[in-house]
Amino acid sequence: MNINDLKKVLKQKENEHIEYKKASKQYGQKDAIRYCVALANEKGGKLILGVDDARNIVGSKAFSDIGEIKSKILNKINIRVDIDEIFDDSKRVLVFSIPSRPIGTPLHCDGAYLMRSGEELVPMSADQLQKIFAEGKPVFELQIAKSNLAADEVVLLLDIQSYFDLKQIPLPETRDGIIDRFLREELIVLNSTGSYDITNLGAVLFAKDMKLFDGIVRKSIRMVVYDGNGKTKTKRDIHGTKGYAVGFESLVEYIMGQIPANEVIENALRENTPMYPKIAIRELVANALIHQDFDIGGSSVMVEIYDNRIEITNPGKPIVETDRFIDEYRSRNEKLADLMRRLRICEEKGSGIDKALEAVEEYQLPAIGIRESTIRTIITLYSHKPFKEMDKEERIIASYQHCCLKYERGELMTNTSLKERFGLTDEKTSTYVISKIIRHAMEKEQIKYANPDNTSKRYVKYVPYWA
């Protein structure tokens, strides 16, 4: 790696594969080794010393003997780490390139299996360790939910009719025709005894009653309706029992039935329009089902309805950066995602968030909230809030999401498009306010000029920072 390669890396924020450390003074061997363990456990990455949190090169005096620290790491944790020494003028930066741990084998330092959580190193949870130890086994969807069944038992346990209705094809005239279709979809498999096994894919999507499948019973959707904006008063707490495909439409309709109607909002919506757009609810719930981490035990997709917001939570940290949900797509459960798309339960890859954002902008709602915790991803839809009541951060996030949405459509954000997104009509006031929001978003490195050479404010356009 050279200085130009380093500067390309520095354009990226810290993520699951990059850790920046100032390390301007002596940096301890134990600290470096512990971070190597954590990054290796997260499938590898780079530990960069001599760079502050703002990604400025400040220089580091750590580890004057590169060969010695490489040898120490190898002897301690049995992985070979490459270290590049790079100079920017007189400022020295060390880049540790850390490989992924072996498949199925988490690394530890002095008995501690480590991972990163924000700025801290923490022990890996039992669920995370179990997930690593299970690597090399079949993906979750193809693991067996119930085994050694006759064809009649398969038909009794799975909602056969729902599959053919969703596929919009006629039900086969014979039981063998039904079984053949389910075998091709890998909803069931033929085992060595000549009987059938229902896969997790078949069970989570088409179970008539998920309680009949011990391995997935805790994966049913839970919905809680609260009285107020907090969790102290619960009006309803419901656990779904049907497979996701069987019960999805009913779930969406039930959620919509719990949502109050809006009054007319700044002439944008008619009276009795639901507070949240149905398409946004539909796509965000489907995304939560698709992207959940099934290896996290005792946790399921959850929909919580408050007076001022809806939170949709799925088990598992996101596998792309939260501010890249709009333009990037990766799925933990590709077989589940593929079949749900073919059943028309959700949109094509990556377009669900776009549709949700489009609907949120049409309703002139605040920006969609996207955040992560140690083991969860939380998406929040907020009820209407007048522009004047939005704080600076809410306005910046909304402008960034609008900029991303425009870019994904093959368009570019302008001052005028952002005015329309916020529903601002007073020309003189809105021009000043929008310019201020854009300046704040640029200062926070959320957006940038589409053409830095354009000096005309009248024609200036913007793109997301990653474009």
Residues 6+ apart with CB under 8 A from 442: 448
Name the percent of the chain lying above pLDDT 90. 69
Give the residue numbers spanning the domain of 94.
3-133
How much is the pLDDT for 337? 92
3-state secondary structure of 143: coil
Same domain, yes or no: 9 and 129: yes
The domain boundary, picked from 210, 231, 248, lies at 210
How much is the pLDDT for 271? 56
Strands 376-382 and 309-315: antiparallel
Domain count across the chain: 4
Same domain, yes or no: 168 and 71: no
Same domain, yes or no: 89 and 226: no
- Residue at 232 is within a domain: yes
What tokens does 295 get? Answer: 């290896």
Alpha helices in 108-186 (DSSP H): 126-133, 151-157, 160-167, 175-184
Same domain, yes or no: 238 and 376: yes
How much is the pLDDT for 454? 76
Same domain, yes or no: 116 and 245: no
| Residue 229: Cβ-neighbour burial (10 angstroms; 0-12, 13-18, 19+) | exposed
3-state secondary structure of 236: strand
The domain boundary, picked from 210, 235, 258, lies at 210
- Residue at 308 is within a domain: yes
- Residue at 387 is within a domain: no
- Residues 64, 26: Cα–Cα separation, whole Å: 10
Same domain, yes or no: 47 and 123: yes
- Residue at 356 is within a domain: yes
How much is the pLDDT for 360? 94
Q: Output DSSP code: residue 311.
A: E
How much is the pLDDT for 264? 47
User: Is 70 exceeded by the pLDDT of residue 350?
Assistant: no
3-state secondary structure of 62: coil
Residue 347 backbone class (left: φ over 0; alpha: ψ -120 to 50; beta: rest): beta
Q: Which is more confidently placed, 182 or 215?
A: 182
Average model confidence (pLDDT) for the chain? 90
**Residue 96 identity (one-letter amino acid):** F
Q: Output DSSP code: residue 327.
A: T
pLDDT, tens digit (0-9, with 9 covering 90-100), for 284-334: 999 999 999 998 877 899 999 999 999 999 998 887 888 888 877 777 899
User: Is 70 exceeded by the pLDDT of residue 171?
Assistant: yes
- Residue at 215 is within a domain: no
Same domain, yes or no: 350 and 449: no
Q: Which residues of 240-278 are buried (b: 16+ CB within 10 A; e: fewer)?
A: bbbbbbbbbeebbebbeeebeebeebeeebeeeebbbbe
- Residue at 378 is within a domain: yes
Same domain, yes or no: 285 and 339: yes
Strands 120-123 and 112-117: antiparallel
Name the percent of the chain lying above pLDDT 70. 95
- Residues 201, 297: Cα–Cα separation, whole Å: 17
- Residues 337, 303: Cα–Cα separation, whole Å: 19
**What number of H helices and E strands is found in the chain?**
15, 20
Same domain, yes or no: 98 and 241: no
CATH number at residue 38: 3.30.950.30
What tokens does 209 get? Answer: 């009653």
Same domain, yes or no: 325 and 411: no
How much is the pLDDT for 268? 53
* Nearest partner of 95 among 33, 50, 44, 31, judged by Cα: 50
- Residue at 347 is within a domain: yes
Same domain, yes or no: 228 and 258: yes
In the numeric block, the tokens 């302008």 are attached to 414
Same domain, yes or no: 251 and 177: no
- Residues 349, 151: Cα–Cα separation, whole Å: 34
| Residue 212: CB atoms within 10 Å | 16
Q: Is there a contact between 152 and 146 (Cβ–Cβ < 8 Å)? A: no
- Residues 335, 337: Cα–Cα separation, whole Å: 5
For 234, phi and psi rounded to 5 degrees? Answer: -105, 130
User: Is 90 exceeded by the pLDDT of residue 413?
Assistant: yes
The domain boundary, picked from 327, 357, 382, lies at 382
Q: Which is more confidently placed, 23 or 184?
A: 184
* Nearest partner of 50 among 30, 24, 18, judged by Cα: 24
Strands 302-305 and 222-226: parallel
How much is the pLDDT for 349? 65
| Residue 128: CB atoms within 10 Å | 20
- Residues 418, 92: Cα–Cα separation, whole Å: 42
CA distances from 306 to 1, 224, 278 (A): 50, 9, 16
- Residue at 74 is within a domain: yes
Q: Which residues pair with 19 in a beta bridge?
A: 47
Q: Output DSSP code: residue 136.
A: T
pLDDT, tens digit (0-9, with 9 covering 90-100), for 245-293: 999 999 999 999 998 776 545 545 555 678 999 999 999 999 999 999 9
| pTM check: above 0.85 | no
User: Is 60 exceeded by the pLDDT of residue 164?
Assistant: yes
3-state secondary structure of 291: helix
User: Is 90 exceeded by the pLDDT of residue 222?
Assistant: yes
CA 396 to chain centre: 20
How much is the pLDDT for 117? 84
